[in-house]
Structure 1
Amino acid sequence: MTRAPERLPSSERPVIRRNPVLQALGHEGDRLKAALLHPVRLVPLAFLAVIILGAGILMLPISRTGGGEEIVTTAFFTAVSAVCVTGLVTVDTATYWTPFGHAVIMVLIQVGGFGIMSLATLLALFVRKTIGLRGQLVAQSETHTLNFGDVKSVLFRVVKIMAVFETITALILTARFWVAYDDNPGTALWHGVFHAVSAFNNAGFALYSDNLIGFAEDPWIIVPICAAIIAGGLGFPVIIQLFRNRPKFKNWTIHLRLTIFGSLLLLTVGIVLFGAFEWNRAETLGPLSFGGKILGSLAGGVFPRTAGFNSIDYGVATPETLMITNVLMFIGGGSAGTAGGIKITTFLVLGFAIWNEVRGREQVTIAHRSISSSTQRQALTVALLGVGAVILGTLLLLMSTDYSLEKVLFESISAFGTVGLSTGITYNLPPTAEWVLMALMFAGRIGTVTVASAIALASRPRLFMLPEERPIIG
C-alpha cells in the first residue's frame, strides 16, 4: 500500500502567484521575449564587424604615414577605440595617420556614437513594451516622448539631434581655428568638424599631438567642446524630454531627474575637487592665468565624464586627482547616450536603495515614485559586473607590464568607462596589454547596454514564492 506524500508545513510551502498578464499571453509572451532577445545578442557581433572593417581600412597604406611590425594591433586598437568612442591611442593620432586615416577614424566615431544612442534608445523601448500591462501604462504616462510607434521616426530624431549639436559645435570651433590660429578655411573647417564629432560622441580623439593642452586657456575651444560632451552624455531620451518638458518640472520622469541632477552633482564635484587639487601645482594649472585655471578646472570635471580629451598632463597629476577622476570615469554619463561607464542612473538607484535600507524602508522611492526590485537588481548587476571587469583587466595589465597599480588601475577604468584619459603609459604597452584594453573598451561600450537589456528582456516572474531565510549580513 503506497503512502500519501507528506504535506509540507505551511511555512515551507511555495506560495503560488497568478499573473494575469502572463496567463493572457501564454506562449506568445515567451515568443515575444525570444524575438527581442535575438537582436540584442547580435549587437556585439554587429559592432565587431564594424571594428574589423575599420581596422582593415586603417591598415591600408593610404590611411597611415607610419608602419612597423605592430600595424595590425595598432589598427585594431584604434578601430576599437573609435567605434567604442573611447579615445585611447597607442600612436600619435595627428602624425601617424594620414588625412584619409583621420576621416576613417571620424566615420568610425560617428557610426559608434549613433549606434550606441539609437541602440540603447530602441532597446529601452523594446524593454518598456515587454514589462507587462501595468508597466506599459506607467511607462506611457511617464515617458511622453518615447512612444514606441515608428522605429524610423526614433532613428530620425537621433540623427537630427546629433546633426544639430555637432553642426553648432563645428561652426564655433571652425570660426575660432580660422580666426585665432591662422588655419586656412579648409583646415579650420576640417578641424572644427572632426573635434565636434569627437566631442559630441564623447570620443576624445584630437588632431593635435598634445590633445587640447595647447588650448587650455582658450574658452572658445574648451567651452564648446565641454558643452558638446555634456549634451552627448545626457542621452537621447533626456534631450527630447528636457526640451519638451522644460517649463513643466512636475512632468519630469524619474530617469530625467536622475540624469539631470546626477550630472549636475558629478560635474560640480569634479570641477571643485579638480581645481582644489591642481590649482597651484606648477606641473598642471599653476602656470595658467586665473581664467585659465577656471577653464582647466571645468575641463577636469567634464572630460572624465567619458570624453577622453585632456587639457593637462594626467601623468603628473596628484594621486587625489587621479582618484576622483577614477570615480567619475567609472560612473560615466547618462543612459542611451554616447557616454560610457555604469551610468548615472545605475549609480543613483543603488545610492537610493542604500539610503532607504539604512532608514529601514522596504520600498525604494524617488520623487514619490517607487523603484521596482527588478530595477534595483539590474543596477546592482551592471555595477558589480563593471567592478569585476575593471579588477580582471587591472590584474592582467599588472601581470603583463611593470607599471604601478595606480597607473594601471587608471588605464583600466578609462578603458572600461570608454573615457580615453591616460597617464601616458598607453604608448608603451606591450601587445598583450593592448588587447586587454581592447577587451575592456568593447565590454564597457557594448556590454553595459546589452547586459542590462538582456536581463530586462529575459526576466520572467515566478509563479510561486519559496520560503524565506535570512543569512547573516555584515
Structure 2
Amino acid sequence: MATTKWWQYPARLLVLVFAAAVLVGTVLLALPLATEGPASAPLLTALFTATSAVCVTGLIIVDTPVYWSTFGEVVLIGLVQLGGLGIMTLASVLALVVSRRLGLRMQLSAQAETGTLNLGDVRALVGGVIRTSLLFEAVTAVILVTRFLVGYDEPWSQALRLGLFHAVAAFNNAGFALFSDNLESFSGDPWIVLPVVVAATAGGLGFPVLLELWRRMRTPRRWSLHVKVTLITSGALAVLGTLMVTTFEWSNPATLGLMGVPEKLMNGFFHGMMPRSAGFNTVAVGEMEQATLLGTSALMFIGGGSAGTAGGIKVTTFAVLLFVLLAEVRGHPSTHVAGRRVPLDVQRQALAVALIGVAVVILSTVYLLLISSFPLEKALFEVTSAFGVVGLSTGITADLPPTGQALLVLLMFAGRLGPITLAAALALREKTRRYELPEERPIIG
C-alpha cells in the first residue's frame, strides 16, 4: 500500500498549520516581554492579535505602537509574514492538488498531468512563493525607508523599522501600522500611499496570477481563464470602488471633504482598493457615509484573488456567479467566459461558497447586534471585515464585549481558511451518480 504523503491532503494541513501558528503567536504575545507595560497581555488580547496577524487581517483591540513592545512588534510582523507565505503556498498547493485530481492543466506548473503531487512540485512552488513575496516586499521597503529618511528626517534605525514593517504588512494584506492613526497622517503623501496600495494589490492577486504574468506578460492570448477573470474582475471592482468612495465622500468634511482635488482622487483610489485587500486607512473609516460603509462591506465580502493574501469569497467566485446570471438572463444553456465553458460543478461550488459566506456574515451580524448597542452598518462592517480578513474598522472592535471579540476571532480564522478549504472539499468530493431520479421543476420566483 502506498504511503500517504502530507502534501496530498493540504486542506487538512492548512487548518492545522494555521491553528498551530495562532497558538504559538498567542503564547509569545502573552509574554510580559511583548508589552510596553509591566503586565503581560490578557489572553483574549493576545489571542485576538495573534489570529489577526496569522490570518493577515489587521483588526486590533489595542493600539499597536503604544501597547506592544519592540519584541511584540517583531512577533507581530513575523506572524504576518508566516501567515502570508503560508496562505499563498498552501492554497497554491491545494489548487494544484485539485487540478491534478480532476485531470486539468494548471498554470502553476509547466505541464500539470493527472497524477499525484510529488515533493519536487511542492519545493518549486514554495520557492516561487518566497521569492515573489520577498521581491515585492523589498522593493516596497526601499521606497518607504527612503521616504521616511528623506521626507521625515527619521534616523536610519527608525526609517528601517517603519519601512520594513509596513512593506511586509502591505504585501501580505495585513492592515497593521506603527502609527496610532494607521496611515491617516500620510494621506497627502503619494510616496507612502501609492507603494502601500500597489504592494497590497499585488499580494491580493494571488501567486498563480503573479507567476503566470511573470512568465507570459508579453503573450496575453496565452493567459489562463483564471488569470483573465481575476484581472478583469479585479480591475472592474477597483474602478467601481474608487468611484464609490470618491463620489460619496467628496463633500464629507470628516474624510475627503477638506482635501484638495489631487488628494481626494488619491485617497479615493486608496480606499477604493483597500476593501478587497489590506486594512490600511488614510481617512477615518468610522466617519464615512453609510452608503460608503455598505459599499465597502460588499467589496470586503468579495475579496481578492485565489491563493493570495487577500480574503473574501474571491473575485473568481463572484465572477463565476455573475457570468452564470448573465447566461441565465440571456437564455443560454451553459456559461461561457473568454472562449471557455465553465463546468457545472464549478458553478455549484461558487454558489455554495457565496451562500455559506452570506449566512455566516448575517448570523454573526445579528449576534453582534444582540450583544452590543452599535448600529447595523457598523456591526455589519466589522463582521464583514473580519470574515473578509481585511482589517478595516469603524473603531468599535475594542469596545465590543469579550464574546463579540471572540466571535471576530472565529470569523477571521474561518474567513481566512473557510472559502479555500470548502471549495477544495467540494471539488475533491465530486462523485458520479449511477442513476438519476425523475425530473420535476419547482416554481421559481
Residue 424 (structure 1) aligns with: 395
Residues in 2 aligned to 1:344 and 1:352: alpha-carbon distance in whole angstroms: 12
Structure 1 counterpart of 2:90, which letter? L
Residue in structure 2 matched with residue 345 of structure 1 by the alignment: 316
Alignment match, 2:36: 65
Percent identity between the aligned chains?
Answer: 48
For the 8 Å contact 1:83–1:112, the answer to whether it is kept is yes
Superposition map of 1:135-214 within 5 A:
135-136=103-104, 139=105, 145=110, 147=112, 150-214=121-185
Amino acid at match of 2:249: E
Partner SS for 2:275: coil
SS at match of 1:303: helix
Deviations 1:114-167 (A, max 9, x none): 110001100000001111xxx43xx25x66657466210111000000000000
Q: Which has the higher contact order (CA 8 A, sep 6+)?
A: 1
Unaligned residue ranges in structure 2 (runs of 5+): none
Taking a change above 3 Å as real, the CA distance of residues 341 and 145 of structure 1, as seen in their structure-2 partners, is farther
After the TM superposition, which residues 40-439 of structure 1 pair with which residues of structure 2 at under 5 Å, given as runs?
A: 40-66=11-37, 71-131=42-102, 135-136=103-104, 139=105, 145=110, 147=112, 150-439=121-410
Q: Is the 8 A contact 1:143 1:253 kept in 2?
A: no
Unaligned runs of 5+ in 1: 1-26
Larger radius of gyration: 1
Q: Which amino acid aligns with 2:271?
A: G
Displacement after TM superposition at 1:357 (Å) = 1.0
Checking the alignment, whether the CA contact within 8 Å between 1:58 and 1:104 is kept in structure 2 is yes
- Taking structure 1 as reference, are residues 84 and 288 closer, same or farther at Cα in structure 2, changes over 3 Å only? same
Q: 1:36, 1:457 within 8 Å by CA — same for their partners in 2?
A: no
Whether the 8 Å contact between 2:10 and 2:94 is mirrored in structure 1 is no
- CA displacement at 1:37 relative to structure 2: 6.9
What per-residue deviation string (whole Å, max 9, x for no partner) do you get for residues 49-103 of structure 1? Answer: 1101101100111100147797111000000000000000000001000011000
Q: Structure 1 residue 243: deviation in Å?
A: 2.0
- 96-105 vs 456-465, which deviates more? 456-465
Please report the RMSD computed on the Cα atoms of aligned residues, expressed in angstroms. Answer: 1.9
Q: Is the 8 A contact 1:146 1:237 kept in 2?
A: no
SS in 2 for 1:424: coil
SS in 1 for 2:309: coil
CA contact (8 A) 1:241 1:252 kept: yes
TM-score scaled by structure 1?
A: 0.89
Q: Which stretches of structure 1, 4 residues or longer, exceed 6 Å deviation after superposition?
A: 34-37, 67-70
Q: Structure 2: how far apart are the matches of 1:124 and 1:91?
A: 36
Partners of 1:247 and 1:202 in 2: CA distance: 28
Cα distance in 2, alignment partners of residues 277 and 418 from structure 1: 24
Following the alignment from structure 1 to structure 2, what is the Cα–Cα distance between the partners of residues 178 and 461?
62
TM-score, normalised relative to structure 2: 0.95
Partner Cα distance (1:37, 1:165) in 2 = 29
C-alpha separation between the residues in 2 aligned to 1:194 and 1:82? 12
Corresponding letter in the other structure for 1:201:
N
Total equivalences in the alignment:
439
Match of 2:427 among 446, 456, 465: 456
CA distance in 1, matches of 2:176, 2:400: 19
| Stretch of structure 1 that moved more, 59-68 or 103-112 | 59-68
In 2, Cα distance between the equivalents of 1:275 and 1:45?
42
Paired residue type of 1:446: L
> 1:363 Cα shift?
0.9
In the alignment, the residues of structure 1 paired with residue 67 and residue 416 of structure 2 have an alpha-carbon distance, to the nearest angstrom, of 25
1:37 and 1:458 in contact (8 A); partners too? no
Deviating more after overlay: 329-338 vs 36-45:
36-45
